Amino acid sequence: MAASSIVLLLAGCGTPKGDGAPPAEMPVRTWQYYVAHPQEIEAMQKICREWSAGNAPAASEPAVVATNCRAAAFAKSQRQITP
């Protein structure tokens, strides 16, 4: 089992395209943060697209990525409907 996991890891399976991991210093953000810092929404959504385009199971996505993706998407929608 461990050998096959190492082979899959080295082959790039189970990771998103790109470098395979979110930046280590990525903090958890709220939707309120993204509303206040709209310039960061697109950068976060780029990371989200990389993870969703990868062949990794959704459960392997780091919690910080899942949380920030939802927060950025919600903030973007709130900015679009706010006059």
Tens place of pLDDT per residue across the chain (83 aa): 444 433 333 344 444 445 556 666 789 999 999 999 999 999 999 999 988 888 878 788 888 999 999 999 999 999 888 66
Question: Would you say 75 and 43 are in contact if contact means Cβ atoms under 8 Å apart?
Answer: no
pTM attached to this predicted model: 0.68
The domain locations on the chain are: 2-81
Question: Would you say 56 and 16 are in contact if contact means Cβ atoms under 8 Å apart?
Answer: yes
Distances (CA, A) of 10 to 4, 15, 20, 60, 67: 10, 10, 11, 16, 27
Q: Give 12's contacts (C-beta < 8 A, 6+ positions apart).
A: 20
Residue given tokens 């959504």 in the structure block: 45
